[in-house]
Amino acid sequence: MSQTPHSVIIRGRGLKRYYRRGIETVKALDGVDIDIHTGEMVSIVGPSGSGKTTLVNLLSCLDAPSAGELSLDGKLLAGLAEDRLAGVRRGLLGFIFQKFHLIPTLTVAENVELPLMFLNRPTDRKATLAVLTSVGLASRADHRPKELSGGEMQRVAVARALITNPKVMIADEPTGNLDKATGEAIFSLLHSLVKNQGLTVIITTHNLALAYQADRIITIEDGRIVKEERGER
C-alpha cells in the first residue's frame, strides 16, 4: 500500500455530463460525487459506455461538466474559459495514453523533453536523465523509439508525463497495447511513483487484476458510481 492519502486534490460534487444525440439526451455522467486524495492510486473501471472516460475527462479538465462543481488543488473550475483550463492542466496534470505518441525522429531524451518546449521552459539534461532513471531508461536516452520494446516506449511516455513535475497523473488505459507481463511492470512502476514521490495517479483500465492493485477502485455503471473498494496492495 502506498503512503496514507491526505488532502483532497480533486473534488467533484454532483457532476453531470449530458449531450444530445438526435432527439435523445445521453446522460454520460449523471450526478457523481468523488474525492481524489494526494498520494493515492485510484483505478476507475466499468464496461464500455459506462461513463468512466467521461469522468476522467472531467477530472482532468479536458471537458467541462454540464452541471455540478469541480475543484482541482483547491481551485473551483466552474465557468473557466478553455485557455484558463489549459493553464490548470499544464501546471498540475500529466497524461499517459494507450498509444505512446512518440516522435520517431527524436531520441528518447528529446521525446521526454517535448512538454517543456511546448511550455517554453528550459530543458536540463541532468533533470531529463533523472526522470529517465526513475523509469529505468537512463541507458536508452540517446536511442530512437524504433530501437525500443513496447514496454520501453510506454516508460518513455511515463517519463514524458513526469518531466513537468505534475501533482496528478492521468493514465488512460496505459497497458492496453502491452502484453501481460509488460503491463504489470508498467502498473508497478506507476505504483512506485505514488509510493516514493507522493504522486497521485488516476488510471482507467479494463484489466481488473491490475485495477485491484490500486489503493482504491471506483466502479462506474450507467453514468454513476456504483461501488468503491480498497485495493489489494
pLDDT in tens, the chain (233 residues): 444 446 999 999 999 999 888 888 889 999 999 999 999 999 999 988 898 989 998 998 888 888 999 998 888 886 666 777 777 777 688 888 878 889 999 999 999 999 888 888 899 999 999 999 988 899 999 999 999 998 899 899 999 989 988 999 998 888 877 788 888 888 888 888 898 888 999 999 888 888 999 999 999 999 999 999 998 76
74 part of a folded domain: no
Residue at 23 is within a domain: no
Can you give the residue range of the structural domain that contains 178?
Answer: 39-62+83-230
In a domain, 7, yes or no: no
Tell me, yes or no, whether 110 lies in a domain. yes
Domain count, the chain: 1
Q: Dihedral, CA atoms, 181, 187, 189, 192, nearest 10 degrees?
A: -130
Residue 226, CA distances (Å) to 8, 209, 218 in order = 21, 19, 8
**What predicted TM-score, i.e. pTM, was given to this entire model?**
0.86
Domain assignment present for 5: no
What CATH number should be reported for the domain holding residue 47?
A: 3.40.50.300
Could you tell me if residue 144 is inside a domain? yes
166 is a domain residue: yes
CB burial of residue 85 (10 Å; 0-12, 13-18, 19+)? middle
